[in-house]
């Protein structure tokens, strides 16, 4: 039965991933203008500096594939790889069977203002979480690649510093931090110098993001649900695994950045934290359910949600 469930989960991921990517195949324009904005680096900054996905698409274009289908293939591959990485990361907590649920929720959240970078973000960060939690040195190789993708790679530096803070008195700790910071500065500088992607800096500070949310009933409901989650996180902080605690500390930073410098409703910009938020939510909701059962006298054991 478990084998069939696994096959069904992969079928769902492949099907929905293909559906998500299909929109990048521009069937009405021979110039592939939509995908062309990305592969030819004509987007505004900072988007134009996110070169990993466009470079992969341009690599496929060397085989004669047009820009639209090339971009679609990269986006599809990233969506499928993201599920694999989430499942791998969730296996650390015994939650691999929930990976497809998490992936499906991320799929829905990414539908609004679809962006070709988002599935790559989910894939890179989920795999980075797995490697960093296991102290796997391949994390630093992945980090180097991630520096080509998106400026939010700096969140991984913060996560490294928070999670391994107990080692802050060692030389290796600070050398690792220096390596990551230097890698970001070097690669982002080389993108400017070698690729010269162009584009002008896009500032979105003039959007009143908090005001837009205050005027939206749906946003109020979401805010109440989020407040409830944060309350349960505070209440059950002691049962949340150490690594997940460290990663969850980045969520308020992303929320603040979104409110100060983002677009209303564009929650996809927090794609880095979606897998972490799922694990935290599962942990505290499971703990709350156990506590309710204890109060009702239906069980005599109290267990951690994910160990």
Asked if residues 89 and 126 have their Cβ atoms less than 8 Å apart, the reply is yes
- Choice between 300 and 167, residue whose per-residue pLDDT is larger: 167
Angle formed at CA 302 by CA 299 and CA 303, multiple of 5 degrees: 125
- Of 26-30, 67-71, 141-145, 193-197, give the range with the top mean pLDDT: 141-145
Query: Radius of gyration of the chain from Cα atoms?
Result: 21
Residue 107 has pLDDT above 60, yes or no: yes
> What pLDDT does residue 304 have?
45
Residues in the chain: 307
- Choice between 132 and 222, residue whose per-residue pLDDT is larger: 132
pLDDT tens-digit series, residues 70-88? 999 999 999 999 999 999 9
- Of 11-15, 108-112, 213-217, 269-273, give the range with the top mean pLDDT: 11-15
Q: Which of 182-186, 207-211, 218-222 has the lowest mean pLDDT?
A: 207-211
- Which tokens in the block code for residue 190? 């080389």
Angle formed at CA 210 by CA 205 and CA 212, multiple of 5 degrees: 95
- Distance between CA atoms of residues 162 and 195, nearest Å: 34
pLDDT band at 106 (very low <50, low <70, confident <90, very high): very high
Quick check: pTM over 0.85? yes
- Distance between CA atoms of residues 183 and 148, nearest Å: 10
- DSSP of the chain, one letter per residue? -HHHHHHHHHHHHHHHHHHHHHTTS-SS-TT-HHHHHHHTT-SPBTGGG--HHHHHHHHHHTTT--HHHHHHHHHHHHHHHHHHHHHHHHGGGT-GGGHHHHHHHHHHHHHTT--TTHHHHHHHHHHHHHHHHTT-THHHHHHHHHTTT-GGGHHHHHHHHHHTGGGTTSHHHHHHHHHHHHHHHHHHHHIIIII----PBP--TTS-HHHHHHT-HHHHHHHHHHHHHHHHHHHTGGGS-HHHHHHHTTHHHHHHHHHHSS-TT-GGGGGGGHHHHHHHHHHHHHHHHHHHHHHHTS-S----S--
Residue 229 has pLDDT above 60, yes or no: yes
Q: What percent of the chain has pLDDT over 90?
A: 53
pLDDT band at 162 (very low <50, low <70, confident <90, very high): very high
Neighbouring CB atoms inside 10 A of 306's CB total 20
Q: Which of 34-43, 92-101, 151-160, 294-303 has the lowest mean pLDDT?
A: 294-303
Residue 93 has pLDDT above 50, yes or no: yes
> What pLDDT does residue 227 have?
87
pLDDT tens-digit series, residues 24-62? 765 444 444 567 778 888 777 777 888 999 999 999 999
- Distance between CA atoms of residues 214 and 217, nearest Å: 8
Average pLDDT over residues 86-107: 95
pLDDT tens-digit series, residues 120-139? 999 999 999 999 999 999 99
> What pLDDT does residue 13 have?
96
């Amino acid at each position: 039965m478990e084998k069939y469930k696994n096959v069904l989960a992969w079928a769902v991921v492949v099907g929905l991933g293909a559906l998500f990517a299909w929109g990048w195949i521009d069937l009405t324009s021979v110039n592939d203008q939509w995908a062309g904005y990305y592969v030819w680096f004509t987007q505004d900054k900072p988007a134009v500096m996110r070169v990993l996905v466009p470079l992969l698409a341009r690599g496929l274009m060397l085989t004669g594939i047009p820009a639209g289908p090339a971009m679609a293939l990269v986006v599809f591959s990233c969506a499928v790889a993201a599920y694999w990485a989430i499942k791998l990361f969730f296996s650390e907590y015994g939650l691999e069977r929930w990976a497809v649920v998490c992936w499906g929720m991320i799929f829905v959240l990414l539908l609004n203002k679809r962006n070709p970078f988002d599935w790559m973000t989910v894939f890179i960060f989920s795999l980075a979480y797995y490697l960093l939690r296991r102290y796997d040195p391949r994390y630093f190789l992945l980090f180097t690649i991630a520096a080509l993708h998106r400026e939010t790679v700096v969140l991984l530096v913060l996560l490294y510093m928070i999670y391994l803070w107990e080692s802050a008195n060692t030389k290796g700790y600070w050398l690792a931090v220096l390596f990551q910071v230097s890698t970001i500065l070097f690669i982002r500088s080389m993108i400017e110098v070698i690729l010269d992607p162009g584009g002008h800096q896009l500032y979105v500070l003039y959007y009143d993001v908090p005001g837009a949310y205050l005027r939206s009933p749906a946003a109020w409901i979401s805010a109440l649900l989020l407040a409830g989650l944060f309350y349960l996180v505070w209440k059950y902080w002691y049962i949340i695994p150490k690594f997940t605690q460290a990663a969850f500390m980045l969520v308020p930073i992303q929320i603040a950045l979104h409110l100060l410098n983002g677009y209303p409703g564009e929650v996809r910009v927090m794609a880095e934290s979606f897998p972490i938020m799922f694990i935290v939510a599962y942990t505290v909701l499971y703990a709350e359910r156990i506590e309710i059962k204890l109060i009702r006298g239906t069980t005599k054991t109290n267990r951690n949600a994910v160990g």
